Amino acid sequence: MTSPNVSEPEFEQAYKELVSTLENSTLFEKNPEYKKALEVAAIPERVIQFRVVWEDDKGQCQVNRGYRVQFNSALGPYKGGLRFHPSVNLSILKFLGFEQIFKNALTGLSMGGGKGGADFDPKGKSDNEIRKFSVAFMNELQKHIGADTDVPAGDIGVSPREIGWMFGTYRMRKGKWEGVLTGKGGSWGGSLIRPEATGYGLVYYVEHMIKHASKGQESFQGKRVAISGSGNVAQYAALKAIELGATIVSLSDSKGALIATDDKGITPELVSTIAQLKVERKQLSELANASEYKDKFKYVEGARPWTHVGNVDVVLPSATQNEISGEEAEALVKAGAKFVAEGSNMGSTQEAIDVFEKTRREKGSDALWYGPGKAANAGGVAVSGLEMAQNSARLKWTAEEVDQKLKGIMEDCFNNCLKTAQEFVPPKEGELPSLVAGANIAGFSKVAAAMKDQGDWWKSD
């Protein structure tokens, strides 16, 4: 099945990855009309592109491109992050929005899929310039969003600070307070556990992978865990895994990888230090070069962690798309990795996924098991959905209540992926089910059925 957007490489990759698993299952045999649903779902309901004109600290006029891809609203209001990064273009936002549709479906909450942002680079800008840009961006975006229409969140380059500036702009322009953005401040509509949610949810999902694969005999206790990235997802995944008894052997940033060289690994205290470095927009290399850390870590310039971490059990790519190549996937298999789950969106290239799936099919109980981002990192948007629910009801749940709901959502998501894979791509004796197939089929089927019920596509009798 050919994608309608062959000139958009990131979107093309996401589309092909979904299609290949659908076609290599029994889904289209049992539901041949779903091929038409896929054709319809591959085209966004709406793509909004606009200019963002703002003034820098020198009084000079600057202009950027702003976007919102409203991909699918069959299950609820469009839901997905806003990204401020120079790499932002329609291909990347369409890939992220397309993935978001099915990720949101897997949470079980009433959310459609969308994504947006701008090719604005916050690096090197003053706080005042970032504020001015955020206000200018929302002055245009506010025409197209609302609590029951489209509810954006933060993403790369958009922290709670930027969410605050944009929410204030929306509130003043519209003259009303509504839950139009998620990731808000705790005192004005935000949900507890939201900053932690993607990283925590990732670890909760992998907990179920470990438990199922080991028939309940193993947990995170004693596992060596390699993580990429050093933002929110990586930080909170590291902290939760440490809490559960794991040793963290790596983190990374855009300039290189921080590798632990002693048995203690990366400690909660170091994660806290790294979090402060990120706030100050500094690199991990500064930490690695400090005298107090020189004997505990090495910093590998220009590298990702995967070929530098030695033997590992669990791999959590949590930085950006396509951060595990086919060669790196082979290296991780040789390093003894048993579980790979994506904290980032489309963190593995198709070549890497092929390596993971080949290993799963061929090695039985010694296989490496792969959890795709649309399932494994769904915890963030799940708690965004819980934030929307709290806003609508004018309630605020405790951290414990939100965390329990998050645990339940991630357990249901894992079981849904597992059971769907067992039904549509039955594993051989002793073979672990394909979670990537299960996630794709379960998410797509739910959206396709809702679209059919609402007349977005139909089957002639």
Instruction: Give the separation between CA 407 and CA 8, rounded to whole angstroms.
Output: 36
Task: For strands 369-371 and 339-341, give the pairing.
Answer: parallel
Spatial strand order in the sheet of 78-84: 46-55, 61-72, 113-118, 78-84, 150-154
Any binding-site annotation on 384? yes
Tokens representing 242?
A: 């440490």
The count of other CB atoms within 10 Å of the CB of residue 311 is 11
The count of other CB atoms within 10 Å of the CB of residue 207 is 20
DSSP letters for 229-273: --SHHHHHHHHHHHHTT-EEEEEEETTEEEEE-STT-S-HHHHHH
Any binding-site annotation on 430? no
Task: For strands 247-253 and 314-316, give the pairing.
Answer: unpaired
What residues are labeled active site?
A: 115
Q: DSSP code of 85?
A: -
- Half-sphere exposure of residue 15: CA atoms within 13 angstroms, side-chain side: 24
Any binding-site annotation on 377? no
Any binding-site annotation on 26? no
CB distance 378 to 402 below 8 Å: no
Any binding-site annotation on 79? yes
Helix (H, G, I), strand (E, B) or coil at 347: coil
Listed in sequence order, the DSSP H helices in 86-126 are 90-107
Q: What are phi and psi of 310, to 5 degrees?
A: 70, -155
CA 326 to chain centre: 20
Annotated binding site for NAD(+): 198, 232
Annotated binding site: 79, 100, 103, 154, 198, 232, 384
Annotated binding site for substrate: 79, 100, 103, 154, 384
